[in-house]
Structure 1
Amino acid sequence: MNLSASQAVKLVSVIICGALAIIALVGWLAMSRLEVTGPVYTQIANSQGLIGDIEPPPLYVVEAFLDANLAIQNPGQLATYQAEIAALHQQYTARHAYWSSAPLPGALKTEISTTSDAYVQQFWPVLEQRLLPAIATHNQAQISQSLAQLTQIYSAHRAIVQDIVSKAERFNTTAQQNARHQIHHYTLLLTLVPLLALAGVGAGLWFVNSLLLRPLNQITRYMTSLATGDFTADIPCRDAQFEIGDIVQAVSVFRAVILNEREAEANLAAARANAEAERARQQADAATAAAAQKFVVDSLASGLVAFANGDLTCHIHEWFSAEYKTLRMDFNHAVTKMQETMRRIMATTNTVESSAREIMQAASDLSRRSEAQAARLEETAAALDQITDTIRRTSSNAHEAATIAASARADAQASGEVVHKTVTAMTGIEDSSRQISQIIGVIDEIAFQTNLLALNAGVEAARAGEAGRGFAVVATEVRALAQRSADAAKEIKTIISASGEQVETGVRLVDETGKALIRINEQVNQLSEVVQRIATAASEQSSNLGQINDSVNEMDKVTQQNAAMVEQTSAASRALASEATGLARLVGEFRVGEETQTPAPVLAAEPAYA
């Protein structure tokens, strides 16, 4: 039976109302039957009235018969008796009409209205038409005859009346018994019907309590436990009928939704924790990368500043991370190459300076000897031999100096290329920083768009009302996450911008170093040209001194020429000494360490930077 709760309540209400209606109907029926004007009472009253009318014999006939006898005895009062008899006749006629329409049993009604009335109808004509006129005329014979006839009619009528009285008594007894039975029946009915109605009402109430109130109380207690946060209990009344079943289904859906929301909140908390951990890891990685990059930039900046100040011992001994290891190795290699080149240049410069001083001293001695040449010509051969050996060594040293100068120029060019590569690498780092800044900008834009989407989702969830509250929480968390991503992107962008500025500073310093190396290369080229000229002059001197050995006899002719040549040589040697001193002073600005210093192992394999 598929009934709703409202239909069940209506059914129980109908049952109760029906029971009350039945009780009222039975009560009304019983009261209507037993009331004073009811059928039972009317039947008993009619039977009692019938007996009253016919036992003793009807007053109308008895009095009329009595009046007839009195009129015979008192003829003087005949008129009075005639009026009384006429009234009694009229009263009998009215009473006979009443009994003809009274609700009596058929046998009694027939005997009263027909059998007994037949004698009465004979009685009145004899009395009124024969006896009374005979009394008025004093006709004793007719009076006696009429009186005898009235007495005979009266006696027959009385026998019929007694029979009717007996039957009426039996009818009255039966009617009273029937009335008592009906009273007992209706009393029993009035007792049983309320009991049955009470049982029906109890059954209806039990039905409502069992199928409605008890499941409703159970589901109410369960919903109260749900409201307190207890989701462990099983849902009661799963097989409940009516709207309770729908409520149970709704509670099941509500419980499932809350459990899903709790699971979603747990997942969201886990996702938030994972996001926080990921953000912390990313921040740690970014901080580590920024620290490593700052360390690299600071180390390179310190090395380049020292390099720009002429300190060629500025090797970077600290370990770099894997992505910057090549940069450190290239820098150390360039510094080492420049250190070795400058060490050779310094050695060559010292040699040139020493040779220049010797040449200057020799030129001074030659000048003094030229002054005394005439007096000491015999010493010329030995002096020329010494000069020839000295000039030969000078020529050899000059050629060696030229070779060293050429090598220094090549090394300076190689150092320039290394610096150029360094500048290229720093430019690449700057480009990478710029690209990272662009990527961070894209991430910032994505975070902004995500924030807008989360804001729109929150608005839509607010429009959805209670159903969108969980989604509103998710939208709020997504918006917060997007805001944190945007803040992190801005921080990373700021760090990258600062790194880009530091890299730009490093590029500028390396570029200045490259320019300094270009100037050094130009000075080395000048030094190479000077040494080449010295070597050429030394070769010419060696050739001339060889000819002097063959032309000692012509010494006198060329004494003046030799004096002039010695003067030129002295001037050239002074100029060479001055250039050598300036070159030594310039090269002395570089610190190349001790001669026995072992270069840093710049080509050794490095472990990954932690």
Structure 2
Amino acid sequence: MLKNESIRGGQTIGRVLTIRTSAILASIVILLAASVLVGVARYAEVRGQIGSDNYNRIIEQKDLVADVLPPPSYVIEAYLHVLAAVIDPSAAARELEEFNAHKTEYLERLGHWRTSDVGAEIKRLVLNDSPLALDAFWREAETTLFPLLLKQGARDEAAIKASLGRITTAFEAHRAVVAKIVEAAVSAQGSIEAGVAEEMGWILMLELTVVIAAAIILAALIAGMFKRVIRPLDRISTYTSRLAAGEDEGDVPYRDRSDEIGRLARSVQVFKNAAQDNLDRQRQIAAEREENARIRQEADARIVAQAKASAEAIEKLGQALRTLAEGDLTCTIDVQFHPDFETLRQDFNHSVGKLQSAMQAISSNGDIIRGASGELLTASDNLAQRTERQASAVEQTAAAVEEVTKSISLTAGNADEAGRTVRHTGEAAERAGNVVRQAVAAMADIEEASHNIANIIAIIDEVAFQTNLLALNASVEAARAGEAGKGFSVVAQEVRELAQRSAAQAREIKTLIANSNALVSTGAELVGETGRTLETIVAEVRNVDVNVSSIVSAVKEQATSLKEINRAISDIDNNTQQNASMAEQATAAGHSLAGEVESLARMLGQFRLAGNTPVRSGHAASAGEPRQHRPAPRATGNLAVRQDAWTEV
């Protein structure tokens, strides 16, 4: 019973879950299984790499290096350098350097082991016991042995031997600690390898369990996919093939499922229903096709009858149109057409009647147009003659005004030129006045400079007088000096003569400057008088310029007024010429209108109207013959003639 309930529950779940959901769940399960396998494999790789071949090869290489090179934590090389220094004291300095280098390397490796993940016992031996045993070793070598070996002079062999013994004792203690470290490390390595081997055993069991579980889940997923997807698709494919062959297999299977197979089955059911509807529709179309064939036969019979009636109507209409083309406007179609074409016959008769009425109206208006055109020709001829006389008079008036305008313009130009000449004269006089004022200022400057020069010359005269006195005193002193002052006396005499000549020349220059000052004063007065005269001339020239400018302005205004009068007369002349041209055009239009009226009358004579009489073709009235039976209509708009326009010029 429980088994049946579980089966029904599984089927219910299978119906609820879609194929997409099932595929997603299967993919998730497979990914989880793969992830577990990968994780277990990675964990096994990390935890079990100690016993691998690569690990063993790496250990062998490290063992080889350890066998070849002594480790830094074992100070045997430092001890060897101590022994080498004792054997060869000459190399003690070099051996001391090597000893210190090994000590530095040992201390650096102690820092490495402080942060390493080794057992507490091993770390105690490496970090506590070994350095404690080596303290005496380092101290004895650095403070006692090497100073004895590096000491100059005779060697103290007893002291060296005693110090070497203490170093050897310290090294042996260190060596014992190293042996304990090696024993503890080998023991710890064995324990680690045993734990790894045990851990690898249960990791392998876990991998096998995961692989078997994944294989079972994958097989279950494949079986479920075959049952829920492949087999239903095969049945639906077979049903669709039979349905396409025309076989009725009933309802589509799996329509009650809620997954993609159910939707596919329902879609196939829709196609089946559509195919059934299509078959019913084709039967209905066949019935409608038969009904349409019957209706088409009846329509063809009606079309034949209508075509016959149409041919008869066209024949009658053609005869009437040919009669109408011959000019007989009295023709009508009296035979009734088929009801479909009866409207066409009535429209033709109505159109012929309208055309006949229009032709009669045109014929009756032709006489009126002929009379009006005769009167229009007479008026146009009179207007053309009067306009020609008026145009000739206006042209003469325009020529006379043009001559007056040219004369006034020439006078204005001459007056303007005279104004410019006067202005130029005034400007030249002003410039001359400026020059005279500058000359007066220059004369004043020259007079002042002459006074300054006179003062300077007076100073020079006074200096020459003082120099003469000094030279005279120098001559007297030279004479007193006797023979020793002769040379100085000669020089003093020359200076005295030079001073006298300078005084004479200064007096002459002073006289000349005084004469120049008198002439400059006279010239300044004359130049000033000239300046005042020029100022008077400039004032008079300005008055003349003002008067000439007034004359020029008046002449220009007269010239402008005459030009405006000339333009007005020119416009009147142009308008008169245009009027004459328009009168000639009106006359020509009147003659053309008379000809067209006569041509229209002849054309109307070709038509036959009611009463079986052709239209009368009259002759146009002569241009000068008045019509007594009806006055000519008054022209309006642009063609209207003003009564005052007929006055003789």
Task: Determine if the TM-score, normalized by the shorter chain, exceeds 0.5.
Answer: no
**Which category of TM-score, normalised to the shorter sequence, fits these structures?**
0.3 to 0.5
- TM-score (norm: length of structure 1): 0.38
- TM-score (norm: length of structure 2): 0.36
Instruction: Give the number of the structure with larger relative contact order, counting CA–CA contacts within 8 Å between residues 6 or more apart.
Output: 1
